[in-house]
Structure 1
Amino acid sequence: MIVRVKMFVVNLVVVLLMISCKLEQSKITYPYMFKAETNPFVKHIRTADPDAHVWKDGKLWVYTSQDHVPDSTLITAPWHVYNKMDGYHVFSTENMIDWTDHGEILHSKNVEWGLKEGGFMWAPGGAYKNGIYYLYFPHMDKENKFRTGVATSKFPQGPFVAEPNFIEGTSGIDPMCFIDDDGQAYLYFGRMMVAKLSDDMLTLAEKPKRINAGNEKIMEGAFMHKRNGKYYYSYTNHKEEINHGFYSIGDNPYGPFEYKGPVNP
């Protein structure tokens, strides 16, 4: 009986904390300004999948997904529990201390081609070209298949307006747009896929190609950057017990890439 009472008290405390947290979040008005002197720098909402850029205004802009999964399920949750991820936010700063949360910039309810139940708004990727800001995002279509959508805005803080259809030829999760020195944009998405984007940044200019990264242990989170003429293709594997972040180096955006191992062993 004592054990049952204790468990009841513990569960009641957890529920009250969750309700309190939701009530606190509901009181926030945007844009919301806060100071970040420790990690994590965002504490007023639960965020994931940061995609960081320094745009032409010199500020650092961080685009994130938002996690609504209850704390009690996070550790043992099967992947489908994360259908509760929804509502992208963007944060900006000039000094890494003073931050602004510009609020929700896109939600599944604004995506015509997506599941009517919503959710499944996972890791986004931002880009800027020709005076327009682009937000590439994964979402499930009405046939329960992951596709890449794209939304646009004239301002880095949005709001972003989603295109009426997903990008044909895409699949999988975690899209990322890389723009090379010559202005050509590439879309990386899913399990080791890449394709040039058309000049409008809204469609693929070619059939997607599979990347040879010199390593098949790739699950998600593909990212591309360029340094001293070399292309760095990085990615994660959450099923790897010791090293989760890996990278490979190549001479062009398509690869092939030479596997270099974990980023931080």
Structure 2
Amino acid sequence: MLICFKTTVSVPVLAASLALLGACQSNNSAQETSATAQTSQADTAAAKQPLSEPLVRDIYTADPSAHMFEDKIYIYPSHDIEAGVEENDNGDHFAMRDYHILSMDSVNGKVTDHGVGLDIKDIPWAGRQLWAPDAAFKNGTYYLYFPVKDKQDVFRIGVATSKSPTGPFKAEPAPIAGSFSIDPAVFTDTDGQAYMYFGGLWGGQLQRWQGGKYNPNAAEKEPNTDVPALNARMAKLTPDMKKFAGPVKEVVILDENGKLLLASDNNRRFFEGGWMHKYNGKYYFSYSTGDTHLLVYAMGDSPAGPFTYQGVIMKPVQGWTTHHSIVPIKDTWYIFYHDTQLSNKTWLRNIKVTELKRRADGGIETITP
């Protein structure tokens, strides 16, 4: 089913307005006039916000990677299904098998489902679990990056190409050499150099790669102790966008004192779902904290970091997981994310979008879903 947004006043703004009106009843007429004007301004601002409602309702979607291609919004989400797999910390119940590609002419416009852009059966080396993807464009070719477990049940990252943003995409015959774990996010800097950020804990297997080789006997979870946290990984991409152009490096995240975040600091440490964007010359690395269900961000002066933790972008949504993308659309920044409004099941999610606001210093205002 295709849906459209309608502008309205959000619940938080309405609640604030009602409280303000109640206070004004006990004040003089001059104060009432001022309060009414302020309320009107708040209502006008709120009316410009897109509703945080599911973008599609006939399929379950998650992990939305949004991009502006050909002056249109394209969204590359996971496609959740009811696979009948028991829920566990390894995420085996997230047993996705294909990607549907969505598009919108505007944030307030209807959503078009272009159908399956890539199916797991068409990836020669794939085993199971087609998790959160990302996309990029260069020199007339669209690239779809995806994590999937190989036939040895180890997550690797692959790439598929198409001449159309809607696919179909054709997968390369092997995963990207040197890739591992999950959640690829590709950022192309203003100089044209592209980078991939990736990694995820627990079911994402990042904790099993600490020696540079996969250790199937490693712990299923990272140590929750006062040791440095396991961080995301990043690598430069080659000009053809299909290989790593150098060694895989750690995405270093520091606290306000320049110290490494600790594994026990699960309100701030990296868990999964990394995303990079650039604003006013600064690099913003945002990510999920996983078991504490926050979207947070850190800032740096280089795409390679280091990054200093800044704060919370979005408080917990309904459901266990949280995963996002941040993009500018017609001079306004938006955050695409997901929750479980439609199903109330953590493995059957629905994607949403809302405006991302910044303070004068470039910091991001916290969103309460």
TM-score range relative to shorter protein: 0.7 to 0.9
Q: 2:116 aligns with which of 104, 121, 131?
A: 104
Q: Relative contact order (C-alpha < 8 Å, sep 6+): which is higher?
A: 2
- Separation in 2, partners of 1:154, 1:62: 16
CA displacement, residues 163-205 of structure 1 (integer Å, 9 cap, x when unaligned):
0010011111000110000100001111510000001100000
- Separation in 2, partners of 1:112, 1:125: 19
Matched, 1:65 2:65: no
Equivalent in the alignment of 1:114: 126
How is 1:234-249 mapped onto 2 (pairs within 5 angstroms)?
234-240=286-292, 244-249=294-299
Equivalent in the alignment of 1:210: 250
- Separation in 2, partners of 1:194, 1:128: 19
* Higher-Rg member (1/2): 2
- Separation in 1, partners of 2:298, 2:248: 19
C-alpha displacement of 1:159: 0.4
- Separation in 2, partners of 1:70, 1:40: 22
Contact 2:3 2:56 in 1 (8 A): no
Q: 2:159 aligns with which of 133, 150, 161?
A: 150
Equivalent in the alignment of 2:93: 82
Matched, 1:258 2:321: no
C-alpha displacement of 1:237: 1.5
- Separation in 1, partners of 2:121, 2:84: 24
How is 1:18-57 mapped onto 2 (pairs within 5 angstroms)?
34-37=2-5, 39-55=53-69, 57=70
User: What are structure 1's unaligned runs of at least 5 residues?
Assistant: 1-32
Equivalent in the alignment of 2:238: 198
SS at match of 1:40: coil
**TM (normalized to structure 1)?**
0.80
- Separation in 1, partners of 2:245, 2:151: 25
- Separation in 2, partners of 1:194, 1:234: 13
C-alpha displacement of 1:81: 2.7
Equivalent in the alignment of 2:193: 184
CA displacement, residues 90-138 of structure 1 (integer Å, 9 cap, x when unaligned):
11111332221000100110111111xxx31000001011111000000
Matched, 1:160 2:169: yes
Contact 1:230 1:251 in 2 (8 A): yes
Equivalent in the alignment of 1:137: 146
C-alpha displacement of 1:72: 9.8
Among all aligned residue pairs of Structure 1 and Structure 2, give the percentage whose two residues are the same amino acid.
44
C-alpha displacement of 1:78: 4.0
C-alpha displacement of 1:263: 1.2
SS at match of 1:36: coil
User: What are structure 2's unaligned runs of at least 5 residues?
Assistant: 6-50, 201-231, 255-260, 263-268, 316-369
- Separation in 2, partners of 1:227, 1:83: 33
> In the alignment, residue 55 of structure 2 is paired with which amino acid?
F
Contact 2:83 2:95 in 1 (8 A): no
* CA RMSD, 1 decimal: 1.8
**TM (normalized to structure 2)?**
0.58
Count of residues in correspondence between the two structures: 225
Q: 1:223 aligns with which of 275, 280, 283?
A: 275
Contact 2:85 2:93 in 1 (8 A): no
C-alpha displacement of 1:219: 1.1
Contact 1:36 1:42 in 2 (8 A): no
